[in-house]
């Protein structure tokens, strides 16, 4: 895969020192900056997708005239969370039984 270069980033000496002080063993300043840029881009993409889903949902609600209260939405999320926790617990229990 071809690589590309990001523009140089000018920062205060104290910022560079702060970053260098938290580098992991074997990690370079360049890899740190690259990782930070990729993670920031991924966060922004996730935010944009979230907003797009919200706008789509709003448009669908306006079209259908069917809206849900915050209480209904929270109840549905709580139910899904409880089911996911139960499934995770069951998976942990099965894994533990297999080790014994």
Question: Same structural domain for residues 52 and 72?
Answer: no
Could you report the per-residue pLDDT of 18-49, keeping only the tens digit for each?
A: 999 999 999 999 999 999 999 999 999 999 99
Is the distance from CB of 22 to CB of 35 less than 8 angstroms?
A: no
Alpha-carbon span 94 to 100, nearest angstrom:
10
Question: Same structural domain for residues 56 and 82?
Answer: no
Question: Same structural domain for residues 49 and 37?
Answer: yes
Residue 43 counted as domain residue: yes
Structural domain of residue 55, as residue ranges? 12-67
Span 56-68, average pLDDT:
95
Residue 31 counted as domain residue: yes
Is this structure's pTM higher than 0.85?
no
Orientation angle between helical segments 29-64 and 13-21, nearest 10 degrees: 90
Question: Same structural domain for residues 63 and 73?
Answer: no
Counting the structural domains of the chain, the total is 2
Residue 1 counted as domain residue: no
């Amino acid at each position: 895969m071809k690589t590309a270069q990001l523009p140089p980033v000018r920062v205060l000496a104290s910022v560079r020192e702060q970053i260098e002080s938290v580098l992991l063993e074997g990690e370079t300043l360049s890899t740190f900056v690259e990782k930070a840029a990729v993670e920031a881009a991924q966060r922004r993409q996730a935010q944009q997708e979230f907003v797009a889903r919200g706008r789509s949902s709003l448009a669908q609600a306006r079209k259908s005239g069917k809206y849900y209260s915050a209480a209904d939405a929270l109840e549905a999320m709580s139910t899904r969370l409880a089911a996911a926790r139960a499934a995770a617990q069951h998976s942990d229990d099965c894994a533990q039984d297999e080790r014994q």
